[in-house]
Each structure stands twice: as structure tokens, then as C-alpha cells.
Amino acid sequence: MTGVLRATAQVCQAASCLAVGSEQVLQALAGRVERSGLADVVVKRVGCLGLCAAGPLVRIGPTGALFERVSPEGTGGLVAALRDATSTATPVSPLAPFFARQVRVVTENSGRIDPENLNDYVASGGYQALRTALTSMTPAEVIEQVRRSGLRGRGGAGYPTGLKWLTVAKSTGEGKYVICNADEGDPGAFMDRCVLESDPHRVLEGMAIAGYAVGASKGYVYCRAEYPLAVARLRTAIRQARQAGLLGVDLAETPCGFDIEVRLGAGAFVCGEETALIASVEGKRGTPRPRPPYPAAAGLWGQPTLINNVETFANVPTIIRRGGEWLARMGTEKSRGTKVFALAGRVVNVGLVEVPMGISLREVVYDIGGGVVDGRSLKAVQTGGASGGCIPAEYLDVPLDYESLTAIGSMMGSGGMIVMDDTVCMVDVARYFMDFCREESCGKCVPCRVGTTQLHMLLTRIADGDATLTDLARLQRLCGTVQRTSLCGLGQAAPNPVVSTLRYFRDEYLAHIEDRTCPAGVCPVAQRKVVP
């Protein structure tokens, strides 16, 4: 390629667009561009463009025009658009609101850079933060910036990240470890997958900065094996970073060393729990153990270990580059920065969105999400995956932050957001999530192993129209014991979908039990013949 680049065609090559044939689109478009002799145009592989529902997606830089549902045959129009593309023309896109309300920190490079090209990441400011940290900041100063940013764990629990780093930094051991939790497993959640597929170097950079801050020289990314593309791009990124001297020994020409290895999960949801994850990395059966001791004091191989999730680490380079205060200016008093949500379910714009904390659910679902499919009415929004709860329509104006969501019986969780309309039965939803927890219980502690199965049996009884009010009382009693007595977060949170639907949609439960009907017509009871 010679001369100045006038335009780029950014073709999404993340999992959801690939699933609808974006690889063929990329090849067809590259072929057409070459044949048409456009020398100042480049066709580029990029990560997630966000609007997964409309894939395969192609974005034209610099105009920002987004082409949806592109087929290999339909790339002709794109060539015309590329030919006419100038940086001054800004086409009015019907998809504008989807992007207008978003604030991109974690996903700033997503859909912009080639995830398999280190130079692309470096050109957009990548690894600058690591160099700055290594050459002009002390570990304490790095931690101070993270503390000032107010960043809290994006994996779900919302523990202050700076405090966690400080605890690990102060712990003493023979060797410390940094682990990135990429075992994203909540139903409907795909934030971490998109970050890893779109901008893997950002996560590696965040981990290397963390390693320097807490005094660790070894890191692991624990990624689920069900994400083959994310794993492949991570491995490519690690190889490139090692070659460029950004991982390994003598990082960025300093005496500091930090290397990262990928470890694959074998399909257990519980391995997202930090102590189970550590056991799995050690090669043991992936089951949780009681805390304390917390991993910050005794984690991997008994050594102080820092565990954060993908999105948390992905925030770090920006915090170092722009300063903690920059991030702290976004969001609410207690929940700073942005949050990436995987918008799914009965919503028009299914996809990946990043919004400032404190934005209302209504803005996310209606302004960004484009509202409910087929113009139906919204019944509930499920957040927090199998550990979260269902938020009914009357709470749509609640701000999205850690405390507000907990107060209404749900939780932030890792960022899954499933929109449900009036065709959905809440008993069925609760039964679905309980089936998930029952399948995913590791079987170590009694309340989770047996209780989740019994909860599922009771919910099935209700869905089949065989339950009595006594069963409803049993359900509530059992929820209490499983929540209070389970060993780890999986069991403690497993009853949440039941508890929250019971709280807001009790009438639906009663309809199944007393009237033997399913108002949404979903459950088996709806098919039951009425005996005259």
C-alpha cells in the first residue's frame, strides 16, 4: 500500500458476525476493492462493532457509516461507499441513537483496530500506559491512580479494585500471581468474549500493569474453552507482546519481568468463582473452598494472588494513561466509570453496549436498545445472570449502579442484560435459571447440591400445575436456607431469580397454583386438559 489512506472498511470479525458469514464478506469485499483499483482504501479485520443483531457489520471509516446484514454478494454497494467516502461527509444513520448514548472506555478500540495486529493497538496509544507505569511511576503510585479512579470489580461483586491491589501488594510470599478471570458463563453474557476478541492486548497490558503494581511476575488468563476465537486471539497477542518485549523479561527495556499464560476452563460455571478457578489452574478439581483465607493472602499455589475479571483489567490502561480522576468523573458517587452490558433477549438492538454507570435502565433498553421487539410491552429486565434477579417494568428508571440494583433485589453481575416482554412467563424464567444452577453446582456442599435440585423440582411442580400453596411455602423456606448456608457465591445466589420473581410477580405463581393456568401460555400447565 502506497500513499495516504483515504478510507477503511472495517469488517467485524468477532464471533457473532462470523457466525453469520462475515469472513466471506471480508474476502468478497477485499477482492472487489482490489479489482476496482481503489489504491487508497484498505479492507480491515476488526473486533466487535457492537450491534450484533444486525451482523455481518461493516463500518466505513472515516465517515462512520455502518452497513448492516451485509452479504458477500452485496459488497458492491460498499465499494461505491468507499469510493465516495470523505472525512467531511457524515451520513445520518438510523442506528445513530445506539451509538450516541454510549461512552467507550473499555471498548474504545473495539471495532476500530485489528485485534490480531499489535501495531494497530500501539498506534492507538496501546502499551503507553505500561511504559509510563514502568518508567515513571512507583508501584504505589500505580495503585493510587487505580484507587482514585474508584474502579470496582466488574465481575459482579463490585469489590474496590484499588483496595484489592493494595492488599496483594502488601501480602508477602515467595512469588505472587495475577489472574485474569475470563470464565464468563452467565446465560446471556458475552462482554468479556467481545473484549478479548476485539482488543486482547488491552487486557494483557492491564495485567502487566497490575503485575508491576502488586509485585507479581507471572500471570494467567483463565478463559473458558467455549471461546475458541478469544483464546486464539489471546495467544496471538501474547506471542506478539513477547516478541515486542512487552511481556517476558526486561519489559519495555526495564528490569521488570512479567509473563502471561492462558489456562482453559473445561466448561464449569463454578470455575468463575475465584477459589474454584485457582484450584482449576492448579490442575485440581474445580471446586470452591471456604474463604478466608482470601486469594489476596493465599491464592494460587498458596501465594498472594490478584484476581480481576477481563473488563476490570481492560479499564486499567486508560486509568494510567488519563489518570484516575478522569475515570472517576464518570458514573455515580459509589459506582465510577462505565459498564459494558451484553444486551440480549426481546430487544431490537441486541449487542454490546458500554454506558456510564448511573444511566437508567430505560435509557439502555429504549434509547440504546431501540425498545422491545414487535412493539410489545416490556415485562422485566434480568440482570446479573443466574445470580441476579428480574427487575419489573416499574423500576425502569432506577440508575444502573451496584447499590441500586442490589436494593431492588437484582445485582450488577458481570453485565448480562436480558430483556423480557409479555410473552415470557416468570415461573418459567425462574425454572430455567434454577435448571442452570442445578446443572452447574459442583456438588461439594449440601445446600447447593441438593437444594438447587429440590428448588427445581418445586418449580416444575408449579409449572406443571401440580403445586399447592404449601409448595410455595416450601419454595420460600428452601430459598432461605440455600442462600444463607451455601459454601460459595454460586449457591448463595442461586435462589435469587426465584426470590426476585416471587417478590414482583407473585400473582403469576398464584395463577399457576390456584387457577392452574399460565398467563403467558408458556408452562406445561397451559396445555393441560380441563377435566369437566
Closest Cα to residue 187, out of 415, 357, 493, 406? 415
Residue 205, SS3 per DSSP: helix
Give the residue with the Cβ less far from other proteins, 261 or 439: 439
Cell for 156?
459482579
Ramachandran region, residue 72 (left: φ > 0; alpha: ψ -120 to 50; beta: rest): alpha
What is the C-alpha to C-alpha distance for residues 63 and 65, in angstroms, rounded to an integer?
5
Closest Cα to residue 408, out of 371, 382, 378? 382
What is the C-alpha to C-alpha distance for residues 308 and 177, in angstroms, rounded to an integer?
11
Q: How far is the CB of 404 from other proteins (least distance, A)?
A: 22
Cell for 374?
414487535
Q: How far is the CB of 270 from other proteins (least distance, A)?
A: 8
Which 8-state DSSP code applies to residue 150? T
Q: How far is the CB of 284 from other proteins (least distance, A)?
A: 10
DSSP string for residues in 260-301: EEEEEE-S-GGGGSHHHHHHHHTTS------SSSPTTTS-GG
Residue type, 102: Q
Give the residue with the Cβ less far from other proteins, 307 or 442: 442
Non-local CB neighbours of 116 within 8 Å, separated by 6+ positions = 45, 233, 236, 237
Q: Is the dihedral of CA 61, 66, 68, 70 positive or negative?
A: negative
Q: How far is the CB of 168 from other proteins (least distance, A)?
A: 21
Question: Which contacts qualify for 240-243: CB closer than 8 Å, 24 or more apart?
Answer: 240/118, 240/201, 241/118, 241/201, 241/204
C-alpha distance from residue 127 to each of 137, 219, 246, 340, 458 (Å)? 15, 17, 8, 22, 53
Q: How far is the CB of 511 from other proteins (least distance, A)?
A: 22
Non-local CB neighbours of 356 within 8 Å, separated by 6+ positions = 103, 330, 331, 337, 338
Cell for 227?
471461546
Give the residue with the Cβ less far from other proteins, 83 or 484: 484
Give the residue with the Cβ less far from other proteins, 230 or 270: 270
Site for other proteins, rule CB under 8 A: 268, 270, 285, 289-290, 438-447, 449-454, 457-458, 461, 474, 477-478, 481, 484-487
Residue type, 93: S
Q: How far is the CB of 23 from other proteins (least distance, A)?
A: 36
Q: How far is the CB of 502 from other proteins (least distance, A)?
A: 17
Q: How far is the CB of 443 from other proteins (least distance, A)?
A: 3
Q: How far is the CB of 521 from other proteins (least distance, A)?
A: 26
Residue 401, SS3 per DSSP: coil
Give the residue with the Cβ less far from other proteins, 309 or 441: 441
The CA-CA-CA angle for residues 463, 434, 352, to 5°, reads: 110
Give the residue with the Cβ less far from other proteins, 313 or 509: 509
Cell for 376?
410489545
Give the residue with the Cβ less far from other proteins, 258 or 509: 509
C-alpha distance from residue 259 to each of 177, 195, 207, 309, 488 (Å)? 10, 20, 9, 17, 30
Q: How far is the CB of 405 from other proteins (least distance, A)?
A: 21
Q: How far is the CB of 290 from other proteins (least distance, A)?
A: 4
Q: How far is the CB of 449 from other proteins (least distance, A)?
A: 6
Give the residue with the Cβ less far from other proteins, 232 or 446: 446
Give the residue with the Cβ less far from other proteins, 259 or 435: 435
The burial class, CB within 10 Å (0-12 / 13-18 / 19+), for 236 is middle
Give the residue with the Cβ less far from other proteins, 49 or 458: 458
Give the residue with the Cβ less far from other proteins, 123 or 266: 266
Give the residue with the Cβ less far from other proteins, 36 or 406: 406
